[in-house]
A = this chain, B = another copy of it.
Amino acid sequence: MRTLYHHWLNPGCRVVRLALGEKQLDHDLQLEKAWERRTEFLRLNPAAVLPVLVEADDTVVAGHRTVLEYLEEAYPEHPLLPRRPGDRAEVRRLIDWFDHKFSDEVTRNLVGEKVDKRLAGLGQPTSAAIRAGLANINYHLEYVAFLTERRKWLAGDQLSLADLAAAAHLSAIDYLGDVPWVRHPVAKEWYVRIKSRPSFRPMLKDRIIGIAPAAHYGDLDF
């Protein structure tokens, strides 16, 4: 069986779970506390970074960008990238946007401060960082709205890895109840669509010990 080493609110792990779901590829989840640097885990990925996918034939694929490209190449059915190189570049530009800009400005300030620090025993959240994250998320939700007013999905007329990357970050923040959906109805309309997909369902049942999800987290009609 295919195994994904993951942690619950890690957006790189979430985007891979969504991609596996869209491609209908069965997999076991193995919870990994990467910060503990377990020897067996370092053997799989010396960079000690999640996620790591291990195939039934023992092929090891480390890092979410690498896993996403690998899944497209190894399992081309249910494509999550368009066909033309220029269109594929637009999808990857948006993955970069969420991996770097959104992550630095929003995810680290919210999930990083409230969850990652606590799990890894790195002290108390910094309130200035949380305030920055809560402010920054608004202009990113405006960007989601800007894109989906011009296109059906974030990178074009087909669902793509760009949508999954955005949803991976936003769903982790939504677990904490920190997405101001009510002020961003256009972005919310896009999120409702992606949240309703079967690939999303397993994630909506996630429960982290000691950190309860927001009341609406698993609710499709929120």
A47 within 8 Å of B by Cβ?
Answer: yes
Distance, CA A127 to CA B143, complexed state (A): 39
A154 within 8 Å of B by Cβ?
Answer: no
CB distance from A59 to the nearest CB of B (A): 5
Give chain A interface residues in 51-92, CB to chain B under 8 Å. Answer: 59-63, 65-67, 69-70, 73-74, 85-86, 88-89, 92
Residues of chain B lying within 8 A (CB to CB) of residue A60:
89
Residues of chain B lying within 8 A (CB to CB) of residue A46:
97, 143
Distance, CA A67 to CA B100, complexed state (A): 16
State whether B47 touches A70 (Cβ < 8 A).
no
Give chain A interface residues in 89-135, CB to chain B under 8 Å. Answer: 89, 92-93, 96-97, 100-101
Interface size on A, residues (CB 8 A): 27
Identical subunits present: 2
Distance, CA A89 to CA B61, complexed state (A): 6
Distance, CA A65 to CA B95, complexed state (A): 10
State whether B73 touches A85 (Cβ < 8 A).
yes
- Among candidates B73, B86, B96, B143, residue contacting A63 with C-beta atoms closer than 8 Å: B96
State whether B66 touches A92 (Cβ < 8 A).
yes
CB distance from A47 to the nearest CB of B (A): 5
Q: 5 tightest CB-CB pairs across the interface, nearest first?
A: A66-B92, A73-B85, A74-B85, A61-B89, A63-B96
Binding site for B on A (CB under 8 A): 45-47, 49, 59-63, 65-67, 69-70, 73-74, 85-86, 88-89, 92-93, 96-97, 100-101, 143
